[in-house]
Amino acid sequence: MNNTRLKKMSKNIYYTPPVEKTDRPILAAIVGKESVLIVDGGNSKKHAREFIDELNKMNLPEKRYLAITHWHWDHVFGIKEMNIPTFSHTETKKEIEKMLTLDWSDKALELRVKEGSEIEFCKEKIQEELKEPRILDLKTPDITYDCGVEIDLGTITCKIEHVGGEHSIDSSVIFSEEDKIIFIGDCLFVDIYHGEWSYSTKNLFPLIDKLLSYDADYYVESHVDRLISKEEMIKITNRLKEIGNLVDEIGLNKDEIINRLSSPINQEDIDNVDYFLAGLRKELQ
């Protein structure tokens, strides 16, 4: 049990950290007395396999389930390799069904980037994780929900709930009530698939309120290798709200928005101003 490379996140949760180079997200296992819930399918067969191999080294219940945070490639390409009953939002399944029909060769990826249905960022990361010939063995989730589902793992209860938001409308969170840890996927990140990367107050603010309504002590973002305390999450989201409100009030005047922002101002704030401005421009189109 001790030779596993899995890291311990809390009393009942183990995980592997994200990998920026190939955009691997955190994969986690929430361990109950009867069964284990895995968070996200991984960005490749290899990613999923490595995680399962480490999990197999531990003396854990054999019954396993998988929950998917959203449809983006890095969270779903490993579903088939996991080979366990898989939960997702109905829209997540629909998007994976579309992905099943696609050609994933360099040539096809290049073409999709040109026509706008794929983005350069994902293309590069896919090429980094998966070398050609790139024949993918994708699988759709087995069990879908619209609002959410609760899973009893034996002494541990997990809530999987749809929260939607800017990054991907199908985004779901996985909340372990006992650990008071919530996996939020990429849901707080910008919209990357519709032109300029953007935020809109209309989509982001209700999501923030929803996320803060959970009785969680810590938040886990898929590509961030640390626990974010509730206090820090409140600080991060208050700043996002401050920026969003200023953009709504002032409009397309970046200098004025930055002038009115409470200090200190860092690069992340300036990026977020740009994202909200991009969102506003899209709305005005």
State residue 81 phi and psi, 5-degree precision: -65, -35
Pick 36 or 188: Cβ nearer Zn ion: 188
Least separation in angstroms between CB 258 and Zn ion: 28
User: Residue 218, SS3?
Assistant: strand
My answer on whether omega of the bond before 141 falls inside 30° of 0, hence cis, is no
Q: Is the dihedral of CA 273, 26, 77, 153 positive or negative?
A: negative
Cα(201)–Cα(209) distance, integer angstroms: 12
Pick 14 or 189: Cβ nearer Zn ion: 189
Least separation in angstroms between CB 172 and Zn ion: 12
DSSP for residue 164: -
Cα angle 125, 199, 237 (rounded to 5 degrees) comes to 100
Least separation in angstroms between CB 58 and Zn ion: 28
Pick 180 or 223: Cβ nearer Zn ion: 223
Least separation in angstroms between CB 250 and Zn ion: 30
Cβ-count burial 33-53 (b if 16+ within 10 Å, e if not): eebbbbbbbbbbbbbbebbbe
Residues near Zn ion (CB under 5 A): 72, 186
Pick 25 or 32: Cβ nearer Zn ion: 25
Pick 170 or 274: Cβ nearer Zn ion: 170
Residue 41 structure tokens: 């399918």
Least separation in angstroms between CB 167 and Zn ion: 6
